[in-house]
Amino acid sequence: MRLPAAGRVAVLIPCYNESATVATVVRAFREHLPGAGIYVFDNNSQDDTSGVAARAGAVVRSVAYQGKGNVIRRMFADVEADVYVLVDGDDTYDASDAPRLVNKLLSDGLDMVVGARVSHEQAAYRAGHRLGNVMLTQFAAAIFGRSFTDMLSGYRVFSRRYVKSFPAHSSGFETETELAVHALELRMPVAELETAYSSRPEGSMSKLNTYRDGFRILLTIMKLFKAERPLLFFSIGFGICALASLLLALPLFSTYIHTGLVPRLPTALLCAALMLFGTMLLVCGIVLDTVTRGRSEAKRFAYLSVPATFTQDPRE
């Protein structure tokens, strides 16, 4: 496998208030990926991130809508390349691993390679973030049957086919989840390689909040479950409602068998309402499952409409 044209690698660096680190990141990737285009997308930074990045030699663009997901949407829409390297601008990822990730993508004809973070620094990878990552990863594995070990990594390499078919619905940090789900849903060829992860340099502040982003992860899990497996999601609701209805109805049936009367009419009405509501949930699940299948087919056609970047040379 080989890249069809020289200099068609783009390094995409989303930034918000990263003036302390962005120059180091730009220079490091320029050194390890010579000839690649380095793009810094500034998301309303209140410091001199744009100026520092420009002086370091990056192409700088601005994104008005706040949030990492909005920045990635703009990046994927505006930048034209064959291979895309996405990395955070906080200088926590190892630029020397970039050629290895790119080569893995090229040699195996993949659509995405995830840099799985490996770190022994407690400050670099906090326990709360590790727990949220594990929860989300295990849930995705339960839904799709396979997953990554680090779904929330900010270090990834993509093919053009992946980038130009990515729907980009998320607006914030949950975009990493969406990036992984897009590949898993369409069963794209993907891989994961370990890469060193270090703590932020002095003077650089993290934008993550353990509790706020943990809550977002929980919401993402629920949205993912409902969107990708609606029949199972709503069937669980149906099962809960039906079970509650039957348990409440048992004493009523017992009384009716012995006396022929239904003295607790409100309970009887509640049982009937619960069963009807559960049935409605089940019908919603069946309908949405059909819609989801159609949506998946549309995503697949959008993916296939982009020509493959890599072609096998028969002489190789």
Mean pLDDT of all residues in 68-96? 94
Q: Does 138 or 66 have the greater pLDDT score?
A: 66
Mean pLDDT of all residues in 137-156? 82
Q: Which two tokens stand for residue 313?
A: 């040379």
Model confidence pLDDT, tens digit, residues 240-296: 999 999 999 988 888 878 787 777 888 889 999 999 999 999 999 999 999 988 888
Phi/psi of residue 9, nearest 5 degrees: -100, 130
Model confidence pLDDT, tens digit, residues 197-239: 887 666 556 556 666 766 777 787 788 788 888 999 999 999 9
Half-sphere exposure of 244 (CA within 13 A, CB side): 17
How confident is the model at residue 165, as a pLDDT?
A: 92
- Dihedral angle sign, alpha carbons of residues 204, 210, 212, 214: positive
How confident is the model at residue 103, as a pLDDT?
A: 93
How confident is the model at residue 5, as a pLDDT?
A: 41
Residue 2 DSSP SS3: coil
Confidence of residue 313 (pLDDT cuts 50, 70, 90): very low
| Burial class (CB within 10 angstroms; exposed 0-12, middle 13-18, buried 19+) of 251 | exposed
Q: Does 127 or 52 have the greater pLDDT score?
A: 52
Residue 96's contacts (CB-CB under 8 Å, 6 or more residues apart) are 28, 32
- Assess whether pLDDT exceeds 70 at residue 311: no
User: Residue 275: which of 245, 248, 253 has the closest Cα?
Assistant: 245
Residue 30 DSSP SS3: helix
Q: Amino acid identity, residue 103?
A: N
User: Residue 99: which of 165, 45, 35, 13 has the closest Cα?
Assistant: 35
Mean pLDDT of all residues in 40-44? 95
Strand partners, 10: 37, 84
